[in-house]
Structure 1
Amino acid sequence: MTTDGLTDGLATIRDELIELYKELHRTPELSLQETQSAGLLAQRLRDAGVDEVVEQVGGTGVVGVISNGDGPVVMLRADFDALPVLEKTGLPYASSARGVDRDGNDVPVMHACGHDMHAACLIGAATLLARSRESWHGTVLVVFQPAEELAVGARNMVADGLFERFPKPEIVLGQHVGPLPAGMIGYGTGPVMAAADSVNVTLYGRGSHGSRPEAAIDPVLMAAHVVTRLQSIVAREVPPAQPAVVTVGRLQAGTKDNIIPETAELGINIRTYSAESRDLVRAAVERIVRAESQASAAPREPAIDWFASAPILISDPEATRTTMAAITEHFGPHRIQPIPVVNASEDVGVFGDVLNAPTVFWFWGGLDPAIAVPAFQEGREDDLPSNHSPYFAPAIEPTLSTGVEALTVAARTWLNS
């Protein structure tokens, strides 16, 4: 496989890609609401000469097909939803957008996870591939997936017939920008990101005046016991060699200090790296919630709603080695590094699981090297803004060029010459 000349065209489209990135960053949209962004990306695919462009796949998803004769079908995927975060970067193209979240709250909106960079890079790769058909054969399936932050977008697209309505891929390729020096690429093989499961719990008690606790069944105290007890799952039930995390990120109850409320609500998130640990932790969460409710003489069973789930992201070892060999040849070994397993989660693994096809997923840096490199050398990496921070915004270059080239080279690795 050779990529000679394949990325030469990047120089001719770099400025328009930068403007696209800035526009996406200025106008972010929450998960399941990405209509303006979807329309913009679909038009850019049409402008690039992509053969077929379809919108509203799985809600707000966009799919493009680049057909170029017989050969493998390779899927390139990027997400493009934003987060309810108030941007504090101070950039001239910073977001001032607001939106309404799923609970009806007015919230600030920011591309705090780099999905705007993901989308711009995929447009760049699709453009280069569409304009260089003389050097490859096969089919490229370009997928802009919505609602990654809710871990529902991939499943929505599959449920809407993604792999029945369009050519079925033989491999899924994706990438994520993160807190590495810009220009660097990090990768792992096997499990590279955790499974994530989120559950909302409602505990039921009996309300009363704060002066008459004996007349109440206090759901706040019940919730406090649940929060404490949940931490024993990882400490005493999960084998030490198997990483797991249980987080209570939300606890809401009551309206006034001298009123014992009737309910308390918990938002719980778990992270695991094996099917066995995942089943164990999920079951333990439910067991503890029900047991503490019963121990408190709750008047009714707790409500347990598992509402979001992302599978363990497996970067297929053999396919990853093949892909990274090509990427290393293109960039040079000094820009490639293995990285440890990432505790965050991604629902891109849904596609490969459904297809029973390999997924290859890597990370690339977005931080100014002049700031990031000394921080890593001095052990101050925790001081750097990372994904989901209100200060996270990739340095446009060399982040953009690196992301476009990595996707393009990866795709060409699996297409026929």
Structure 2
Amino acid sequence: MQPHHARELLIASFHAALAGADPQRLVPPFLPIPPEGRTLVLGGGKAAASMAYAVEAHWPDSAPLQGLVVTRYQHSLPTRRIEVIEASHPLPDGRGAEAAQRMLAQAASLAADDLLLALISGGGSSLMALPVAGVSLKALRGVTRALVNSGATIQDINTVRKHLTLLAGGQLARAAGAARVHALILSDVVGDDPTHIASGPCCADPSTFADALAILDRFRIEADPAILTYLQRGAAGEYADTPKPGDSCLLRTVNHVIGNASQMLRAAANYFQAQGVKVIIVSEAETQSSQQVAQAHANLLRQILADNTARPLALLSGGETTVATDGSGRGGRNAEYLLALAIELRGMDSVYALAADSDGIDGTENNAGALIGPDTLSRVQALGLNPEKLLQSHDSYTCFFALNDLLVTGPTLTNVNDYRVILIG
């Protein structure tokens, strides 16, 4: 297989994967029947504007509809009836906090014959982050940054955020009172547990203040004293905890996961098969570090080649790997996975790969991910760069920028975790 053809196949497969996770296709089948009263749309996440756009396109013109969603900067779409606000991710800012405050007030205005239609997608934890009383936004940003850099899982991070913010962990649904709550959820979390997608604003939360404290201790997070004081007082029973399973405030609430990594991978698999490429879905739920996953995939690849499996062959995987860093390097988990994979493969013939975040942003840079081929390692070394040192310093962006092998898509307006493919020509 020629390098340019392999590259075209990889990029086209990513776009096919994104089409499989498009809110314009996923939202309409799950829309509820309009209620006797009014419908209020609230929510947040990287796909929130796209979800709101889909709601408007399929909601009856005669039925009352209004609302507010918050999405990441540069992720909005033009809407007519639902207001879209842009805010910061992955660290929260004042615009997101203000939007969350407005959401709480609007939810509290609902009556028993009204409907809260919640649109939830990955990123909502930061975008709808309204700190609890006594905890500043700066302190919340600090603990979020520390947890992300520690390599903590999204489940651990969200357990802490649920107990430091006012919409997470079922608190948005609780604010809606007697109104019916219908949540549509685009999952970016391995396992698709609604309690961890955007910190579950409409889901019962089984975690506790004590759990949040234990996570900070386990990852040795030096949180702001106000955060520790608040969590300690909560653990002592001084503050009401988030709604728990069986709580009466959630009896009229339903949560629907309408899209996930599985759908994305199936769409990519269908694309490859239409091109005459055999497909193996290795895993939909990778959660180890980027370097560990790269090593495991390299070992699997060697076994497949030793078995003389028919080519061309594509190995697909989803999930969300982790990177523990001090924040000094540039590059997200997908670029780190690829750099580690290139080092593991050492220029293996006819093997190409792509890894990218389905939201179009790998970490905090401007790329969705990157691509590698048999010549990646030699090209890096020809530029006078040391791939092992770049990997050790978590500086994968520098590597792929120098090679002109970054994958830059801009905001995709969806978010169902990461997409990885190894193509054997």
Q: Based on CA coordinates, which of the two structures has the bigger radius of gyration?
A: 1
Q: Same fold (TM over 0.5)?
A: no
- The one of the two structures with greater contact order (alpha-carbon pairs below 8 A, sep at least 6) is 1
TM-score, normalization by structure 2: 0.29
Scaled by the length of structure 1, what TM-score is found? 0.30
